[in-house]
Structure 1
Amino acid sequence: MDSLTQVVLGAAVGEAVLGRKVGNRAMVWGGLAGTLPDLDVLSGLVTDPMSALAYHRAFTHSLPFAVLAAPVIGLAVHHLYGGRDVKVSGKLLYPAALLAFWLILLVGSYLMPIQLFAIPAIVSAITLVFTGLSGLIVGIHVWRGTRTKGSNATFLQWTLLFFLAIVTHPLLDCFTSYGTQFLEPFSSVRLAWNTVSVIDPLYTFPFLLLLLLAARQGRRARVRRNLNRAGLLISSAYLFLTVVNAVNVGGVVDNSLQQHGIGSLRSIHSPTLGNNLLWSATIQTTNDTFYLGQYSLLDSTRTLNPLLPIAGNHRLLVPYSEDRELEILTWFTDGYYTVLPGGAGRVVLCDLRYGLLGRDPSDPGSYTFNWTIDTTRRPVRVVVEAGTSRPEPSGALKDLWSRMLGK
């Protein structure tokens, strides 16, 4: 989900683990650990677009990364506040921890089964920014004279905090339609349970409010713990509700296909941006034919409306199926894509998993993700087109809101 939500979740987890012992430090470090996996977006600054696409929500969002990184960061933070569970000089510990963090990222990234470029640069960018954010926290402590004041937690307790704050980030992302590669580097399979949008105010804002109220209480106050627990419980209950909605919409998809006499090879459905009321569905009926549909929980009938047929036109890319950049796109879209003509030896590959933003399925700008591919060179390359069309934001939002209210 969005970075604000992940910071809130990480901070709440940190508070639940160590808030009573170390106070707001638990929230601060938990929030930083919660946003750490999303630093993989820095790959877009130092490598090619397809490598960045494959790297986002990959190794930094995996269980192995959480397991390996947590003790490294936990030991450094434990030592920062005066802990001596491991008797090592700070002059040696901090550079060693920094190197270990960099090596974990480097080796894990090289082991990924997808071919990536500029891995050392990606890893260095993530390490540099994470170090800078950590240094900012330390600097504030030094400026306020609070670095060595207050109680400390053990090395194992700090490790537990960082593990849980990091691992809950990709677990939450698994509920989204974008998904995450939770098992990297052992598998590039994206876990996407498609129950919640990548941005959902009803999940985030109550959680954020309760966390802020908890932070204003004394660290040993019972109301602080209760407020934080309430935030965790309410957000978890909302996630459970989205699962119920997903199961319900799955029944609607099956019912619609039966009503229209459409047989499907497979289908997916997920909520549209910013809400859990309006859902989009993508159905594959043959190797090269799809249907796009919508259903609002406020609709008066349990059927997809509209239900539009879409030609996949996959034959246009058959000659280039083994080219690296096309392989990454077909993997990323999980085969749910249509190919539109782009002119001058170019085609546009459009991701069908998220439905239509506009009203014209022949317009590449009507899709959440689309990539222009130059087929005049080999291997084919994704090119950046200036002035790519997009539906008018106000019009798209108006259509979304109108459809959300039901038919």
Structure 2
Amino acid sequence: MDSLTQIVLGAAVGEAVLGRKVGNKAMFYGAIAGTIPDLDVIASYVTDTVSALEIHRGFTHSIVFSIVFAPIFGWLISKIETHKSIKDWTWLFFWAFLTHPLLDAHTTWGTQLFWPFDLRLAYKNIFVIDPLYTLPFLVFLILTMLQNRTSKKRRLFNTLGLTISSFYLLISLGLKWAAHTQFKHALEDQNIDYLAIDTRPSPLNTILWNANIDTKEAYLLGNYSFFDSKPIRFTSYPKNHHLLGELQTHEKVQRMITISEGWYTISQKNGDLYFNDLRFGLLNLKPNSQDFVFQFLIQKDALGHVTFIEQPRKPGDAKAMLNDLWERIQGN
């Protein structure tokens, strides 16, 4: 999830663990703990693109990280604050560290909660930024902050924030199942044979859902809004995996295929090859759009070294996407 959401969650967890004893300091340190796992993004500045993608939401989003580093931070804060209980501070950091990846597991990218085992949990039932999850949570957190640390209202407001946000996650799982069912029915009605189907919410909401469909020669991309009145339409994107040629067996290419979980196409423009990660969809809803959210230029030098270069978004992409989403959410 986005940084603000993880700050809010960490602060609420910190309050639940230690708010009665230390007041708003529990929120403060909980918010810090809620952001620490995302420091793995530093890898993007010190290593290559493929390695950075592998590291993202890896070790720092694992149970191992929570167990190992919570006592370290607990000891450190006990030396700084007047509340000297290492155990109390350790529990605060442990639960703030752990709830961070537990929430991220609901997004498309998922987390390696059970690192070092190569298992990424990704339920794909909520977008990385979802105002309906974050804003009510934030309001209750602010109300909590304004209460005396021993007030019953303080515990009530914090509990309501945690409960309502968790309930929304539960609802989103039900919405995912309903949308997934609609996609399956559409494929059956259109007599489309497929190998696999992957569904996820579109940005900022859980009303409009996207699906990737794996067929023998192509991937089909479609979207469905709960306000739709017409059948779901799918757009075909040729896999074009053959364009990789001998690169298909290159170690770094194989790692990228693993990262994308096999949901990728290869496109060619002006003689250059591009690796398109389909899991995050398109930047717009134009027919046959090739503007994938995550698109990487594949370069190979004279020594055979392969480099993946993430393509930057163009100015205006975000505004165009929001306009498309708002119109599409209302139904086809």
Normalised to the residue count of structure 2, the TM-score between the two structures is: 0.94
Structure 1: segments with no counterpart, 5+ residues: 82-147
- 1:320 and 2:251 equivalent? no
Q: Is the 8 A contact 2:282 2:289 kept in 1?
A: no
Structure 2: segments with no counterpart, 5+ residues: none
* d(CA) in 2 for partners of 1:295, 1:393: 21
Q: Which amino acid aligns with 1:349?
A: F
Q: State the Cα distance separating 1:362 from its structure 2 match.
A: 5.7
Q: Residues 5-84 of structure 1: matches in 2 within 5 Å?
A: 5-81=5-81
Q: State the Cα distance separating 1:383 from its structure 2 match.
A: 3.6
Q: Which amino acid aligns with 1:324?
A: E
* d(CA) in 2 for partners of 1:384, 1:224: 45
Q: Is the 8 A contact 2:21 2:149 kept in 1?
A: yes
Q: Which amino acid aligns with 1:315?
A: H
Instruction: Tell me the residue number matched to 2:219.
Output: 290
- 1:381 and 2:307 equivalent? yes
Q: Which amino acid aligns with 2:305?
A: P
Q: Residues 327-342 of structure 1: matches in 2 within 5 Å?
A: 327-342=254-269
Instruction: Tell me the residue number matched to 2:277.
Output: 351
Per the alignment, in what secondary structure is the counterpart of residue 282 of structure 2? coil
Normalised to the residue count of structure 1, the TM-score between the two structures is: 0.77
Instruction: Tell me the residue number matched to 2:117.
Output: 186
Deviations 1:355-389 (A, max 9, x none): 322325363xx11100000246423222466x765
Q: Is the 8 A contact 1:21 1:153 kept in 2?
A: no
Instruction: Tell me the residue number matched to 1:86.
Output: none
* d(CA) in 1 for partners of 2:317, 2:132: 25
Instruction: Tell me the residue number matched to 2:190.
Output: 260
Instruction: Tell me the residue number matched to 1:2.
Output: 2
- 1:197 and 2:127 equivalent? yes
Q: Is the 8 A contact 2:49 2:309 kept in 1?
A: no
Percent identity, aligned pairs only, is: 41
Q: Residues 239-250 of structure 1: matches in 2 within 5 Å?
A: 239-250=169-180
* d(CA) in 1 for partners of 2:315, 2:288: 12
Q: State the Cα distance separating 1:331 from its structure 2 match.
A: 1.4
Q: Is the 8 A contact 1:350 1:369 kept in 2?
A: yes
* d(CA) in 1 for partners of 2:237, 2:38: 34
Q: Is the 8 A contact 1:70 1:160 kept in 2?
A: yes
Per the alignment, in what secondary structure is the counterpart of residue 110 of structure 2? coil
Q: Is the 8 A contact 1:15 1:24 kept in 2?
A: yes
* d(CA) in 2 for partners of 1:324, 1:12: 43
Q: State the Cα distance separating 1:178 from its structure 2 match.
A: 1.6
Q: State the Cα distance separating 1:321 from its structure 2 match.
A: 2.7
Per the alignment, in what secondary structure is the counterpart of residue 293 of structure 2? coil
Greater strand proportion? 2
Bigger RCO (CA 8 Å, 6+ sep): 1
Per the alignment, in what secondary structure is the counterpart of residue 166 of structure 1? helix
* d(CA) in 2 for partners of 1:376, 1:309: 32
The 1:292/1:237 distance shift into structure 2, 3 A limit, reads same
Q: Which amino acid aligns with 1:230?
A: L
- 1:234 and 2:159 equivalent? no
Instruction: Tell me the residue number matched to 1:209.
Output: 139
Deviations 1:302-339 (A, max 9, x none): x42x3111111011124223323312321121111111
Please give the root-mean-square deviation of Cα atoms over the aligned residues, in Å. 1.8
Q: State the Cα distance separating 1:180 from its structure 2 match.
A: 1.3
* d(CA) in 2 for partners of 1:239, 1:294: 21
